[in-house]
Structures are given as C-alpha cells and as structure tokens.
C-alpha cells in the first residue's frame, strides 16, 4: 500500500520540473512574435530624404540638378530641308545657323515685292496729273472771265457764259481729285514696303537659328525631309547654367524661406567630392503640393572639364538654407 501511494506523488513532481524547464522568457511572452521590433540601422546617406534643420540651417529634400533651358528647336516654315549644320553632341552658340529650308520661292517673292514697291514709289512721286489739273483750271477760269465780259456786251447768250463758269468749277474738283490720287499712291507705297518686309521675314524663316548657346542632345529631322512649321529639328540644352531644385516643408518652416536667402549647395558630381557652391535662392514657389511641400531652386554656374561638363542634370544635391 505504501508503494501505491508514493507513485502519483513522483509523477506530479516530475511534471512540475518539466514545465519549469520549458517556460519561455518573460520578454518573449510579453510581445507577439509578429510585433517584435526589427534591429535599427544608422542612416548613413549624405543626401537627406526629408527636410531637416541642422545647426540652424534648413536642408531641403529631394534635391536634384535640373536644366534651365531645354528646347526642341522647331522648323519655322514649310519646305524641303536642304541643309543640316549640326550633329548630336555639337556645341552651338546663340544665333548660329542650324539648318536651312529650301528658300527658292521665298527669294523670288522678295524680288517681286521689291519691283512692286518700286512701282508704287514711282506712282506716288508722279505729280503730272496734279500739275495738269492745275493748268487746266487756270485755262477754265480765264475762259469763264472772258465769257462774262462778252455777256456784258451782249455778244453771247447767258447759257454759254454759265457753261464756262461751271467748267471752271469742275476744274477745281479735278485738282482735288489729282491730290487725292497722289495721297492714295503714297499710302499704297507704304503698303508695298510692308509687303516687302513681310516677304523678307518669310525668307528669314527658312533659316533655323539657335535660340541660345548649348549642346545638341538629339537630332530629330533628316536631310531631305519635308518639314512643316513646328516640326522638331533638334533638342538643344543649355549647360553653362543649371538649377538645383528641392522641396521645403511648408508647415514646419513657415515664413523662414524667402527669395534671395543665402544658401550653400552641395552637389555629388562624377568623382563624388561633394562640391560646395555658395549662392542664394532664386525662386520660392507660392504653391503647396499635397505633401505640404513647396518648390525652391538655386541657379548655379556649370564648369567645363575638358570636353565635358562637371555638373549634369539628374545629379543628387543638397540645398542648405542659412
């Protein structure tokens, strides 16, 4: 009977010891496995992703180098593309001729308008009709006076005298008509001069001029192609001046960022040397986006390194507002 009583006790002690050996730590039980905090890693990125204030400075977010001028140079007239004076990668200066559209018809139109203007000038300067009308008026007036004398003497009937008087009046109207015609001819001469200028302007539209200094990024037309006004000829980008654009937290820095504020720009260039440039804000946007940010930019001068440029659009940057 004694052995039968002790056996359950031994089993209970063994179960208690086993439960104590497999009890998980309290830290594990206090938090579900799926909500355990992951290990933190240091933020080592030089270019911050959020607007922050460090040592009294405001650092903008999402800063990149951007173009100031990038345009697709268009054709300005209809015709056959006769000349292309550029290739991709070429540098052009403002005012350089980039392409020439067939200008045969335009040149002929200029010559025609020159002839028409010359004709109008000759007509406007011709006063023969006016002088003839004045002389004819003198004759008519003299005849009218002589017929009045004859009428007084009773040599002619009244209606002949009256006829000469009316003819003298008509001669005065012919003078006015000649003067009016000469004025009209002078106005037509001005009109022909304007038509000549328009023809010359149409001729200049056959020559495609570089709108600013830059580099040909892409050629979009081919020699011998028929182009229309607005047809893209080439993509031209300005590289001597660029912008660094970024975003500012509009709620955190209310009234602290203004146009003209001194800034320091840090650009990650080809060698990642973090070039620092001193400048000032050239633009502060009035519009706040859905993320409560507004845009700012700083204009910078680019630097030529051999045949290449040191800064290029798309490079990461920082704007530190002092």
Report CA 203 to chain centroid distance, whole Å: 23
According to the model, what pLDDT value does residue 48 have? Answer: 41
**CA neighbours closer than 13 Å in the CB half-sphere of residue 156:** 14
Cross-strand partners of 299:
243
The two counts, helices (H) then strands (E), for the chain are 5, 19
According to the model, what pLDDT value does residue 56 have? Answer: 64
Query: What are the backbone dihedrals phi and psi of residue 311, each rounded to the nearest 5 degrees, phi first?
Result: -105, 140
According to the model, what pLDDT value does residue 255 have? Answer: 83
Question: Of 196, 283, 211, 212, nearest to 248 (Cα)?
Answer: 283
**Chunked mean pLDDT (size 10), the chain, 322 residues:** 39 38 41 39 40 66 93 95 94 95 95 95 90 90 89 87 89 91 93 96 95 93 94 94 94 89 85 79 92 94 87 91 86
**What interhelical angle do 158-204 and 128-153 show, nearest 10?**
170
DSSP 8-state secondary structure symbol assigned to residue 258:
-
According to the model, what pLDDT value does residue 92 have? Answer: 94
Query: What are the backbone dihedrals phi and psi of residue 61, each rounded to the nearest 5 degrees, phi first?
Result: -110, 165
According to the model, what pLDDT value does residue 254 have? Answer: 86
């Amino acid at each position: 009977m004694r052995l039968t009583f002790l056996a359950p006790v031994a089993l209970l002690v063994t179960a208690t010891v086993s439960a104590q050996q497999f009890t998980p730590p309290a830290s594990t039980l206090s938090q579900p496995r799926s909500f355990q905090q992951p290990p933190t890693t240091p933020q080592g990125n030089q270019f911050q992703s959020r607007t922050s204030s460090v040592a009294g400075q405001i650092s903008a977010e999402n800063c990149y180098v951007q173009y100031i001028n990038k345009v697709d140079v268009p054709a300005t007239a209809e015709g056959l593309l006769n000349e292309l004076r550029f290739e991709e990668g070429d540098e052009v200066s403002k005012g350089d001729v980039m392409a020439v559209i067939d200008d045969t018809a335009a040149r002929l139109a200029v010559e025609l308008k020159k002839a028409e203007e010359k004709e109008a000038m000759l007509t406007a300067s011709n006063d023969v009709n006016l002088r003839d009308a004045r002389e004819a008026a003198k004759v008519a007036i003299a005849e009218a006076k002589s017929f009045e004398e004859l009428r007084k003497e009773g040599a002619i009937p009244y209606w002949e005298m009256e006829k000469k008087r009316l003819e003298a009046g008509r001669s005065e109207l012919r003078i006015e008509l000649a003067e009016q015609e000469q004025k009209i001819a002078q106005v037509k001469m001005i009109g022909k001069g304007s038509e000549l200028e328009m023809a010359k302007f149409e001729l200049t539209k056959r020559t495609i001029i570089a709108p600013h200094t830059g580099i040909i990024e892409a050629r979009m037309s081919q020699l011998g192609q028929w182009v229309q006004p607005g047809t893209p000829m080439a993509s031209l980008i300005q590289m001597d001046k660029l912008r660094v654009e970024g975003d500012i937290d509009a709620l955190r820095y209310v009234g602290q960022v203004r146009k003209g504020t001194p800034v320091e720009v840090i650009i990650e260039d080809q060698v990642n040397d973090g070039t620092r440039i001193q400048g000032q804000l050239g633009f502060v946007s009035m519009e706040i986006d859905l993320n409560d940010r507004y845009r700012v930019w700083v204009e910078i001068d680019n630097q030529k390194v051999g045949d290449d440029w040191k800064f290029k659009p798309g490079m990461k940057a920082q704007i530190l507002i002092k």
